[in-house]
Amino acid sequence: MTEAAPAPAGDDGRERLLRRIGAVRDLSKLLAAPLSPEDQQVQSMADTSPTKWHLAHTTWFFETFVLAPNVADYAPFHPDYGYLFNSYYEAVGPRHARPRRGLLTRPPLADVMRYRAHVDDALSRFVAETPAEVLNPLVPLIVLGLHHEQQHQELLLTDIKHALASQPLLPAYRGDLPVRPGKAPGLSWVEFMGGEHEIGADPASGFCFDNETPRRAVLTAPFELANRPVTNAEVLAFIEANGYAMPMLWLADGWAWVQAGGANLWGEAAPMYWRSDGDGWGEFTLGGLRALDPEAPASHLSYFEADAIARFMEARLPTEAEWELACALTYRPGANPNLMAAGLLHPGPPAGEASRGLYQILGDVWEWTASAYAPYPGFKAAPGAVGEYNGKFMVSQLVLKGGSCATPPGHIRPSYRNFFYPGQSWQFSGVRLARDSS
């Protein structure tokens, strides 16, 4: 975690921080609101966590790292919650096994909501009342806790999507989600000059995670990126060309993954949530089962699928450096990408104009890169327990960029590095093609 943003000076800074805390913490509750206590407890695979666990774990972060060490006589809400709601911090002690989170009927949801209130209250008082010279050095940690909670907000949505899709009744997360129709532009290529340029985050410019640093120069050859992500129509063409049955299109590990059943929840040779009926393809969404929109970006692709589809389309995946360079050059903060705040919670055709030829560089779907998730040269993990945040996952995963339709407000930037294993596809993960300049 790195934070160089000015610490709150005087009441005004405190006030802004309190409002920000309130906004993030309230959003988590809002996201859980459509779900019953039963829904909030279920865990449908080892990769996912129950909603209730997300609500508690994000609270545990503030209690463990901010309140307990800094508030005199702070009384933890419950002595066992440290064990129950630690995710993976070895430095903090033992913890409840991840694949067993769905067994936790106790504490009940009501207790977890009281836990949230208890910690919110203590945190608000701490921020409001602590002398500036004590508070200010802790502000980066509090802000890290907010970004941490935002990550879990996206996971809350993708995890419950999987849990609902795993049930025969296929219930919607929300039955009232709007759908935005539209057309995908034809596939075209945008060229970028190579050369030496800088990527990564400069902590002086605002919040970033430790894994985005240090900013440094890289060399790239000239390259081209597709003007928009691969669409469902293009994945359909891959399926109709029998792409899931052609080993030459797949990485060896990817072919083994296909042979072992792939990710589709109903055993189809298709992306995770596609479901065929007599007439055609539907897709399970947070709004329930819908007809597949051929114009929307394909989502819930594993890296293996992304790579095979790119090969089928005679292209490749971009490297992280290529992607980040392109994003930094085309990204306009004023644009209105399809992030969580757009309210769709599903990828769709582009709503706005292209920026320098690129549509949807942020939002809609996370875009797989061909780059392994590895430390940047000179990377140093943050000191202390929060140093386990990012660094210890730096093997066997691939970087994804750009955020998705489930990414919370203010939680995406060109240097942001998301990372998953190549066989995972329960995130809103898609693909933007790249190719060498000819």
The residues that touch a copy of itself, with contacts defined as CB under 8 A, are 36-39, 41-42, 44, 80, 83-84, 88, 90-91, 96, 100, 102-109, 163-164, 166-169, 171, 196, 216-221, 247-248, 250-255, 303-304, 307, 319, 370-372, 374-375, 377-378, 388, 392-396, 398, 422, 436
Cα separation of the two ends of the chain: 40
Nearer Cβ to a copy of itself (172/354): 172
Quick one: 126 or 173, whose CB is closer to a copy of itself? 173
Judged by CB, which is closer to a copy of itself: 182, or 378?
378
Taking the complex as a whole, how short is the minimal distance between the CB of residue 139 and a copy of itself, in angstroms? 26
| CB of 293 vs a copy of itself, minimal distance in Å | 25
Half-sphere exposure of 144 (CA within 13 A, CB side): 23
* In contact, 431 and 309? CB cutoff 8 Å: yes
Q: Find the shortest distance in angstroms from Cβ 37 to a copy of itself.
A: 5
Nearer to a copy of itself, 17 or 35 (CB): 35
* CB 256, min distance to a copy of itself, A: 10
Residue 283 or 320: the one with the smaller Cβ distance to a copy of itself is 320
Measured from the CB of residue 78, what is the shortest distance to a copy of itself in angstroms?
A: 9
Smallest distance, Å, CB 411 to a copy of itself?
23
Nearer to a copy of itself, 287 or 410 (CB): 287
Alpha-carbon distance of 350 to 359, in angstroms, equals: 7
Adjacent-strand bridge partners of 224: 191, 435
